[in-house]
Amino acid sequence: MEKSFKLFFTDQYLYPLPEHHKFPIDKYILTKEQLIYQGLVSPEQLIDPGLIDEPAILLIHTKAYWEQIKSQTLDARMIRRIGLPLTSVSVNRARNSVAGTLQAALAAIEDGVSMNLAGGTHHAYPDRGEGFSMLNDIAIASAFLLRQKKVKRILIIDLDVHQGNGNAFIFEGNAAVFTFSMHGRNNYPLNKEKSDLDIALANGTPDGEYLSLLAQHLPTLIEQHQPDLIFYQAGVDVLATDKLGKISLTKQGCKERDRLVFTQSYRYQIPVAITMGGGYSERIADIVDAHCNTFQAAMEVYG
């Protein structure tokens, strides 16, 4: 096995799935299994990050919202907006996912790079969740690291096909956190927030155009913002095969996207914490391959 890095994962909060569960949960366990099968990861390498504690959650979320999540008393309309059933398992899964993103950031600060095999729930706002996002992992981890003075400046590179509206809203006007979102113009959310930099792509945007835009912007973003840490939201719903995403990357193009991010973080020696984000291709194998490719691209650059 080549040199690897810390990887955060546990399956203890994935199941049981309640009825009417639409979000693809199996992709998490299948990605983990494929990484092991490919010999990229050994089972002992996987670290359970545990559950994020309440004071950290309350750095971003309102007390009223968190209390209603914790006690599972959030009203039905608000639960529908999140799109996940509200159960003790799903609440723990959200807390575990936030903890994974925070632990990945701390590990990246030590080792250069780290990945949470979960996370990227960028649609959660302080007082509500939406779009499969109950708690905002990157926002909570960012607030925690800034509060603890582990970092002074953070760059969020959000390449999920959906705009990182929660992060854009939360960090608007906050000079310590630069939000960059490159997403499908006609994808959810309908009413987008204002990130520090938004690149909205037309339907069907192919590899070439996508990759040249990214290659053009990344070095400037890093040089201008001078971050001490990058959060990379590596959603694979940019694939042409994705049922929700409206842009058209090939699997190879998606891996090239990941490689571009890692090449730049490596070149400027900025720690990068990776979260999985969305992925809704018809065949789950396409989703899993693309998530594994993110890990592999990081290994190729950092290994």
Produce one character per residue of 148-177: b if its CB has 16 or more CB atoms within 10 Å, e if not. Answer: eeebeebbbbbbbbbbbbbbbbbbeeeebb
Residue for token pair 């359970």: 48
Residue 148: CB partners within 8 Å, gap ≥ 6?
Answer: none
Pick one of 112, 166, 253, 278: the residue that binds Zn ion (CB under 5 A).
278
Indicate whether 246 belongs to the interface with Zn ion (CB under 5 A): no
Indicate whether 130 belongs to the interface with Zn ion (CB under 5 A): no
| DSSP-derived 3-state class of residue 165 | helix
Q: Rounded to an integer, what is the distance from CA 157 to the centroid of its chain?
A: 9
Considering the complex, state which of residue 61 and residue 162 has its C-beta at the smaller distance from Zn ion: 162
Question: Which range in 58-66, 104-112, 266-274, 278-286 contacts Zn ion by CB under 5 A?
Answer: 278-286
HSE, side-chain direction, 13 A CA sphere, residue 220: 7
**Do residues 197 and 217 lie in contact, with contact meaning Cβ atoms separated by under 8 Å?**
yes
Cα angle, residue 240 at apex, residues 280 and 219 outer, rounded to 5° = 100
Closest CB 233 distance from Zn ion, rounded Å: 9
Count of residues that bind Zn ion according to CB under 5 A: 5
Q: Which of residues 35-94 bind Zn ion (CB under 5 A)?
A: none
Question: Which range in 13-21, 23-31, 92-100, 275-283 contacts Zn ion by CB under 5 A?
Answer: 275-283
Considering the complex, state which of residue 23 and residue 268 has its C-beta at the smaller distance from Zn ion: 23
Residue 207: CB partners within 8 Å, gap ≥ 6?
Answer: 249, 250, 252, 253, 256
Here's the x/- map for Zn ion, 147-166, by CB under 5 A: it reads as -------------x-x----
Indicate whether 235 belongs to the interface with Zn ion (CB under 5 A): yes
Considering the complex, state which of residue 121 and residue 265 has its C-beta at the smaller distance from Zn ion: 121
Structure tokens at 60: 């971003």
Q: How far is it, in rounded angstroms, from Cα 171 to Cα 222?
A: 17
Question: Which residue has the closest beta carbon to Zn ion?
Answer: 278
Question: Which range in 30-38, 134-142, 274-282, 294-302 contacts Zn ion by CB under 5 A?
Answer: 274-282
Q: Rounded to an integer, what is the distance from CA 54 to the centroid of its chain?
A: 21
Considering the complex, state which of residue 236 and residue 273 has its C-beta at the smaller distance from Zn ion: 236
Indicate whether 123 belongs to the interface with Zn ion (CB under 5 A): no
Which residues in this chain contact Zn ion in the complex, by CB under 5 A?
A: 160, 162, 235, 237, 278
